[in-house]
Amino acid sequence: MLGLIELRTRLRAKIGKGLENDLMLLQCDVAATVEAVRENQTRVDFSIHIIPEGDRGTEGGTTGMTISRVDSGVGILIGVKDMSDAIGSDGQDTLKLYREAVAKTLQGFTPSGTTRPLWYTDGDLIDYQDGIFWWLERFTGGFNIRENL
């Protein structure tokens, strides 16, 4: 599994300090699920939550030891409040800036304990309600499980 606290630290350092696109980051935290964030969020202007997406074995083999390659996924939930209009036309530009900043911060980064860097998998608009965009970006990294025979 990817180190979620390490990812949070990296996102806070890069985006929270305005190093990427001079964006303001009011909240960056780890959460168990998308639903937990949305049910407990009292105020959203600009927020990012790191959510575990699970691990999947991709291949294995034996050459003196058993090796399993594991893809480990993480979701980055971006919440952006559209300050200017109720239908979301202006907020899409702000959302795009946050998505780009997250991608620049995580793409190619190799978290501790992993053997493969993060790569972008996909992204989806989860919801747009009450003037808030909820967008989930997904990244995958990987590690190996080895056992001597």
pLDDT reading at 27 higher than 90: no
Q: Are strands 46-62 and 27-30 parallel, antiparallel or unpaired?
A: parallel
Please classify residue 79 by burial: count the beta carbons closer than 10 Å to its beta carbon, then call 0-12 exposed, 13-18 middle and 19+ buried: buried
- What is the CB neighbour count within 10 angstroms for residue 52? 16
Tens digit of each residue's pLDDT (9 = 90 or more) over 104-142: 999 999 998 888 899 999 999 998 887 888 999 999 998
What pTM, to 2 d.p., does this model score? 0.83
Cβ neighbours for 97, distance < 8 A, ≥ 6 positions apart: 21, 23
Report CA-CA distances (Å) from 106 to 44, 102, 111: 22, 6, 9
For domain 4-55+73-138, which architecture applies?
Answer: 2-Layer Sandwich (3.30)
Task: List residues bridging with 76 in a β-sheet.
Answer: 50, 137
